[in-house]
Amino acid sequence: MSDFRIKAIAELSASVPDPSGAISAVCGSPKAMELLKQLAVKSGYRRFHHDNSSESIAAVIEAAQAFFASGDLRDAERRLKSVARVNEPEELAEDLSLDPDFESLHKEIFDQVLARFPSERPNLISGAVSASLKRHLADEITKADKSSPIDAMKMAGIVVCHVPGLAHEGIEATMTSFWDDESSSLTVKPDEKFRRLLMLANISSEEWIEAVERVHGIRIDLADPETSEDWELERAAEWTSFRLMPDDSQGPVVDPEELVLAVDNCPMGFTPLLAFAADAAELCTRDWSTHLGVKGGILGLHDFVNGSGDLLSTVGQLRINPCPQEMMVAEGFRNDFLHVHGLEWGSFRCEIEDIDRAPMRTMTR
């Protein structure tokens, strides 16, 4: 007879007068709990994890968007807490009841209690022992779990849009404006919204004016006072005074003439953005006091109002200002970027790094 059994029976004989109390005492004894703790650790249970199910993906998207909206990681955690199934430890304990170690413990306790109370029905004792052990095991599984809500975002790839100006403007206010009845490279206004596009593309104002001339044969910074319409005179004056110099350390991230054609494909205007794939946890928990470097991804000209636009693949690295409120998830809402353009997730693969820090993971799915 084991030391565990001898000690347990001695304790029962001295202090427990009924089967229910005996079962409770033995199942909760130090020796029994030691084995149950081992089983709990063996289970490897993590309440918060990403399992790539539709529910898990939806939760990650909502949590990331909650973080981007406020910049507060606790908002993401609150959303993730609602996803985990609280009854999972009980279900796992039920599965572990088939483990040989659990069955051996059950048999030893059953034999002890039945020997002490031989007049009791064996099936009732067996059921009560099993239920008590499972309750203790479920508790130990919960205690052994060291996961946190953010773990539900780890290894979860999401496509995000960096939208300059979003932190202080509604999404519709980030759209470009234009002269005449329809937006194009000939009518788009060189305001702050359009400046953001050229900054993302790393194209100077002069490069843009020259690219428009190559495509359309028109200098948008010039107008004949005798023959031009009023809006064309205004256009020439504004483009003449508009100045933007690129980052000299690298060239344009898209071809200027291709960008002209992309602007021509957005007749109602657009919001300039950069769309790229990232590990949700790494992106949300990064040090937002440092700039983010993105090599690859998609330069988007997107109309969130009408669900249209155009896009271009980028080359070189783009430097993004450290502001989570200028990020948004690319899917999960009306006229979202991902589904409007119908691209596969792989189109957004890129290399991401915190500028002056170690590179983040290159995301694939």
**8-state DSSP, 178:** B
Q: What share of the chain is helix, strand, coil (3-state, %, to 5)?
A: 50, 15, 40
Q: Across the strands, what pairs with 276?
A: 160
- What pLDDT does residue 1 have? 41
Which of 220, 201, 200, 202 has its CA nearest to residue 210? Answer: 220
Delimit the domains of the chain by residue range. 3-48+84-152, 157-354
**8-state DSSP, 348:** G
Q: Per-residue DSSP letters for 204-241?
A: -HHHHHHHHHHHHS--TT---TTTS-HHHHHHHHHHHH
- What pLDDT does residue 227 have? 95
Q: Is the pTM of this model over 0.85?
A: no
C-beta atoms surrounding 74 within 10 Å? 11
Evaluate whether 142 touches 92 at the Cβ level (below 8 Å). no
Extended beta strands in the chain, E state:
157-162, 271-279, 292-296, 298-303, 308-313, 317-320, 327-329, 350-354
Please tell me the distance from the alpha carbon of residue 50 to that of residue 60, in angstroms, as a whole number: 8
Q: How many CA atoms lie within 13 A of 235 on its CB side?
A: 24
Which of 348, 361, 347, 200 has its CA nearest to residue 277? Answer: 348
- What pLDDT does residue 10 have? 45
- Secondary structure of 179-200 in HEC code, one letter for each residue: CCCCCCCCCECCCHHHHHHHHH
Which of 176, 249, 244, 173 has its CA nearest to residue 208? Answer: 244
- What pLDDT does residue 179 have? 96
Q: pLDDT tens per residue, the chain (365 residues)?
A: 455 544 554 455 445 668 888 899 889 989 899 999 999 999 999 999 888 888 889 999 999 999 999 999 999 999 998 776 667 899 999 999 999 999 999 999 999 889 888 888 999 999 999 999 999 999 999 999 999 999 999 999 999 999 999 999 989 999 999 999 999 999 999 999 999 999 999 999 999 999 999 999 999 999 999 999 999 999 999 999 999 998 888 889 999 999 999 999 999 999 999 999 999 999 999 999 999 999 989 999 999 999 999 999 999 888 888 899 999 999 988 899 988 998 887 889 899 998 865 444 343 33
- What pLDDT does residue 364 have? 38
Q: How many CA atoms lie within 13 A of 316 on its CB side?
A: 16
